[in-house]
Amino acid sequence: MTAQMMTGNLAAAWSARLADVDYVPAFPITPQTEIVETLAKWCGDGSLNARFVTLDSEHSMMTAAGAAAATGARVFTATSSQGLLHAFEVLYTVAGWRVPFVLVNVSRALASPITLEPDHNDVLAARDSGFVQIHAETCQEVLDSILMGYRIAEDARVCLPVVVNLDGFILSFTREPVVVPDQETVKQFLPPFRPAHLGFKASAPHALGTAVTGGATYSYFRHQIHLASVNALRVHEEAAVEFERLFGRRYDVAEGYRLEDAEDVLVMSNAYASKGKAAVDRAREEGRKIGLLRLRVIRPWPAEVVRRALRGKRAVAVLDQNLSPGQGGILFQEIAACLYHEPLRPRSLCSFIGGLGGKNISEGEFCTIFEQMEDAGGRGTGVGPVLLYTEAEHRDMEQLQFLAHELRTGR
Amino acid sequence: MLAIRFHGRGGQGAKTASRIVGTAAFLEGFVAQDSPIYGAERRGAPVAAFTRMAKAPIRERGIIAHPDVVVVADASLMGDPAAKVLEGVDGKTILFVNSPMSAEQLSAQISARGHLTTLNLTEIALQRMGKRGAISALLGAVAGRLVGLRQESIHEAIARELAELGLAASVIEQNQDAAKYCYEAVPVVALESRARQTVPVALHIPAYESPTRGTAGITVGPNSGIRSVGGWRTFRPVLRPDLCNGCWLCFANCPEGAITIKPDGRPAIYYPHCKGCLDCVEVCPTDALTVERETEATSKT
C-alpha cells in the first residue's frame, strides 16, 4: 500500500467510500464542503454506489441521517460549526433512537464574532448528546477513525452514532501522505450492516423514539444510552486490535507520547497535538522531562486510561482549545474530576486555553506553558485558566480597536 | 525539515504552487505537507500557503513562523502590512520576489534580512503563455529549485496538480515549459542550516473592557473608505473614452464600487479602491477597457 498526498477532507470522503455507505444526506459549509463535493462527484460517476441527497438545512440533514440509519442503511454525513449547532436538537434525538451512523465534524470556531478557523467549542457542545466522539490528529487518522467509527457504532453493544472530529484548515485543507486501505481488507474489518433492531418491513410495523412520561421510563432509556456509550470503550479496544492486525496502525482511546519517564505532562487533543509533540521533543533536548497525553476518544470518557497515564506525575497542564465562559477549559474539568480519588494524583493541575479561532500556538507559547507548569509543580499549586494570547498579538488588537472606535474618517 | 512560505494575491496561484512543491517533494521520497490559509475568499486579497518537507514525519502544523524560503508572487505585497511577508525572516532565509528588478535593485528599496533573489515571472508568463492568469507553475518551479528539488519532479507535479484543476493538456504543457525556463533562470542562493533557540514569550492577560470595546463592533461609522486596495493590483484596467459606448456594464459589475458615472454619463475608475480583478474588462462590449501591468512605479495609487 502506497501513500498519496491528501487533505483531511479528502481522507474523510475516501473513508465513506471504503465503508461502502448507502446514503449521504448533505449540506455544505466551510470548511467541510470538499467532503460532500467529493462524495457528490463519486456518487455521480458511479465510483460510490450510494444515494446522495442535498437537504435544505443541517437540521433536516441530521434527521434524514438518523431516519435512514433506522431503516438499516449505512449512512455518512458531515458538517461543521454553525451547521452542527443548527442540527443540535436532532443530535440528541437520533442518539436516543440508537441508530448507528458516522458524522464527520470539521471543527470551526463558533460565532460571535464569526470566523472560519478551528477550535472545539462546536464539537464539545455536542459532548452530552450521546454521540461517541473521536478526535483525529492526522489526515490518516481521519480516514482510519471513520472506519473504526462504523465498526463501533454498528456493534450491538453500542448502537450509537459516532462523530469523528477533524480541525478545519489545520487538517481539512492540509495535504499530507495518507495510505488508502484496500477495499477487500476494509470489507473484512467492516462486514455488511445487518442490525437486528432496525429496518422497516411492511409486515412488521414498529415505532422508534416514542413518548414516555412519568420519569422512570425515561430514566431507564436514557441510562441505556449511558451504558451503551460506556460499552464503546471496550468495543473501541477490540476494534483497535483488529484494525492493527489488518492495517498495521494502532489507535487507542488516548495516546501517550514520551510519557513513561515524564515528570510533567501536557494534555492536548486534535491536530495541534502534533505541535505539542514537537514542543515536547524540543524540551527533551534541553533535558526537561515532559511528556504528552493526547485525548482521542472524549465520549465515552476514558477515565481509567487518563488516571493511569497521569498517576504519580508532578504537574499536568491541560491545553483546552475551547472556552466555557464563566468556567474555563472543558477538558480540564473532566481531567480534574477523574483524578479526585487517585491517591497518587499530580501535585499540580494547570489550565491553559489556546488556539481559539485557530490561533497559532507558537514554539514560544509552548515554552511558556512548560515553564509555568514546572513552576507550579515545584510549588504544588494550580495555574489558570491562562489564555494563550501574546503581548505582540495584543498590540495588533489595539490597532484594530483604534480603527473600529477612535479613528475619525471625516465623514 | 525545510519550510517554504508562499505569499500571493487571491487568484495568483500561491495555493497551487504550495501543492506543486509538496507533490514534487513527495515524489522524491520526502514526507511532505502543504496547506493554504485565506479568510473570506476575495480575488486580489493577500493569501499565504505553506509547504513543509522532511525525511522524518512532520510534527509542525498550520502557519510557518520561521520559513527557510519565502516566495512572494507579487512585489506589491512587500508593502502591505496585512500580508506579513517578512514575518520570521532572518539572515538565513531565502527571499524570492517576482519582480522586474534585480536582487540588488530591489534590496535598495526594501529593508529585508535574508538572501534576496528575483525573477520577472509575470513577464515570463505573458511572453511564454500569453496570459495574465495564475503563475502557480512558475512559483512552484522557483521554490522547487531553491530547495533543491529536481526539475523532473516539478514537471510531473505540475502535470498532476494542474490536471486536478481541470486544465487542458496543452495549457499544462505551456505551464511546464514556462516553469522549466524559470527553474533554470532563477538565481540560486545556497540554503544554510539554521539553529534557533526557543524562548518563552510574554503572554498578555486581558482585562475586562466595556462591551463597546469588548465586542467585535465598529463605532466610528464607515471606515472602509480609508482602506486602499489599489496595492492589490497586478494589472490595472484603463479606460479609452473614445471607445466607450456608455452602457454602464463596468459600473454595474464592479464588485468594489470603484467605478462611478460622471455627469456626462461616462464611467471613471477610482484607482485606490480598484483591486485589479478586471471584471470590468471582461464585460466591456466595445473593448474600451484595456489592461496595463502594474509596476513598482505605477502601483502607488
Cβ-count burial B197-235 (b if 16+ within 10 Å, e if not) = ebeebebeeeeeeeeeeeeeeeeeeeeeeeeebbbbbbb
CA distance A52 to A37: 10
Sole residue written with cell 496543452: B170
Q: Are A168 and A118 in contact (CB under 8 A)?
A: yes
Q: What's the pLDDT score for residue B40?
A: 67
Residue B291 has pLDDT above 50, yes or no: yes
Q: What's the pLDDT score for residue B226?
A: 74
Q: Does B107 touch chain A (CB under 8 A)?
A: no
Inter-chain residue contact A364 with B213, CB threshold 8 Å: no
* Architecture in CATH for domain A254-394: 3-Layer(aba) Sandwich (3.40)
Residue A402 has pLDDT above 80, yes or no: yes
- Which of A112-121, A240-249, A312-321, B270-279 is predicted least confidently? B270-279
CA distance A162 to A78: 11
Q: What's the pLDDT score for residue B76?
A: 84
Chain A residues inside the 8 Å CB shell of B205 = 386-387
The grid coordinates of residue A342 equal: 487517585
CA distance B119 to B96: 8
Question: How many contacts does A have with B, using Cβ atoms within 8 A?
Answer: 124
Q: How confident is the model at residue A410 (pLDDT cuts 50, 70, 90)?
A: low
CA distance A81 to A103: 13
Angstroms from B102 CA to nearest CA on chain A: 33
* Torsion sign (Cα): B272, B278, B284, B286: positive
Inter-chain residue contact B203 with A387, CB threshold 8 Å: yes
Side-chain half-sphere of B161: how many Cα atoms within 13 Å?
Answer: 32
CA distance A332 to A350: 8
Q: CB-CB: which of A281, A367, A386 is closest to B199?
A: A367
- Which of A107-111, A200-204, A345-349 is predicted least confidently? A200-204
- Domain span(s) for CATH 3.40.50.920 in chain A: 254-394
Q: Can you name the residues that pair with B8 across neighbouring β-strands?
A: B47
Tell me the fold of A3-247. Rossmann fold (3.40.50)
The grid coordinates of residue A230 equal: 460506556
Residue B7 has pLDDT above 60, yes or no: yes
Q: What's the pLDDT score for residue B300?
A: 44
Cis-peptide into B153, omega within 30 deg: no
* Torsion sign (Cα): A352, A398, A275, A377: negative
What SS3 state is found at A24?
strand
CA distance A251 to A267: 17
What SS3 state is found at A255?
strand
Inter-chain residue contact A389 with B203, CB threshold 8 Å: yes
CA angle A275, A141, B164 (to 5 degrees): 95
Angstroms from A152 CA to nearest CA on chain B: 29
Inter-chain residue contact B59 with A281, CB threshold 8 Å: yes
CA distance A76 to A181: 18
Q: Are A263 and A242 in contact (CB under 8 A)?
A: no
Q: CB-CB: which of A5, A390, A405 is closest to B201?
A: A390
Dump the DSSP string for B148-195: T--HHHHHHHHHHHHHHTT--HHHHHHHHHHHHHHHHHSPP-------
What average pLDDT score do residues A77-89 get? Answer: 98
Q: What's the pLDDT score for residue B98?
A: 95
Nearest in space to B249 (alpha carbons), one of B291, B279, B270: B279
**Residue A66 CB burial class (10 angstroms; 0-12, 13-18, ≥19):** buried
Angstroms from B175 CA to nearest CA on chain A: 22
Which class does domain B2-185 fall in? alpha beta
Residues contacting B162, CB < 8 A, separation 6+: B16, B136, B137, B171, B172, B175
Inter-chain residue contact B205 with A173, CB threshold 8 Å: no
φ/ψ of residue A171, rounded to 5: -115, -40
CA distance B181 to B191: 21
The grid coordinates of residue B152 equal: 523532473
Which of B59, B213, B218 to mutate to probe the A interface, most A CBs <10 Å? B59
Give how far Cα A243 sits from Cα of A131, A148, A187, B57, Å: 21, 8, 12, 22
Q: Complex ipTM, two decimals?
A: 0.94
Show the DSSP H helices in A155-215 as ranges. 183-189
**Residue B63 CB burial class (10 angstroms; 0-12, 13-18, ≥19):** buried
Residue A278 has pLDDT above 50, yes or no: yes
Nearest in space to A376 (alpha carbons), one of A314, A302, A322, A289: A314
What average pLDDT score do residues A41-46 get? Answer: 97
Inter-chain residue contact B200 with A368, CB threshold 8 Å: yes
Chain A residues inside the 8 Å CB shell of B216 = 112-113
Give how far Cα A128 sits from Cα of A62, A210, A303, B50, Å: 16, 21, 16, 37
Nearest in space to B125 (alpha carbons), one of B109, B110, B142: B142
E strands of A181-250, at which residues? Answer: none
Residue A407 has pLDDT above 90, yes or no: no
Sole residue written with cell 463596468: B250
Q: What is chain A's Cα-based Rg? A: 22
Residues contacting B84, CB < 8 A, separation 6+: none
Q: Does B1 touch chain A (CB under 8 A)?
A: no
Angstroms from A243 CA to nearest CA on chain B: 22
Which class does domain B227-293 fall in? alpha beta
Rounded to the nearest 10°, the torsion over CA B208, B212, B215, B217 is -160
Q: For B222-279, how does the pLDDT look when each residue is reduced to its tens digit (9 = 90+)? A: 667 777 888 888 889 999 999 999 999 999 999 988 999 999 999 999 999 998 899 9
- Domain span(s) for CATH 3.40.50.970 in chain A: 3-247
Q: What's the pLDDT score for residue A1?
A: 64
Angstroms from B32 CA to nearest CA on chain A: 6
Inter-chain residue contact A170 with B62, CB threshold 8 Å: yes
CA distance B175 to B109: 31
DSSP A406: I
Mean pLDDT rounded to a whole number for chain A: 96
Nearest in space to A231 (alpha carbons), one of A291, A153, A290, A141: A153
What SS3 state is found at B286?
coil
φ/ψ of residue A107, rounded to 5: -60, 135
Mean pLDDT rounded to a whole number for chain B: 91
Residue A256 has pLDDT above 50, yes or no: yes
Q: For B108-165, how does the pLDDT look when each residue is reduced to its tens digit (9 = 90+)? A: 988 888 899 999 999 999 999 887 778 999 999 999 999 999 999 999 999 999 999 9
Q: How confident is the model at residue B81 (pLDDT cuts 50, 70, 90)?
A: confident
CA distance B191 to B148: 9
Q: What's CA A368's distance to the chain center, in Å?
A: 26
Residue A208 has pLDDT above 90, yes or no: no
Domain ranges in chain B are: 2-185, 227-293
Closest chain A CA to residue B50: A174
Q: How confident is the model at residue B297 (pLDDT cuts 50, 70, 90)?
A: very low
Q: For B84-95, how does the pLDDT look when each residue is reduced to its tens digit (9 = 90+)? A: 999 999 999 999
CA distance A57 to A104: 16
φ/ψ of residue A293, rounded to 5: -115, 120
What SS3 state is found at B17?
helix
Residue B301 has pLDDT above 50, yes or no: no
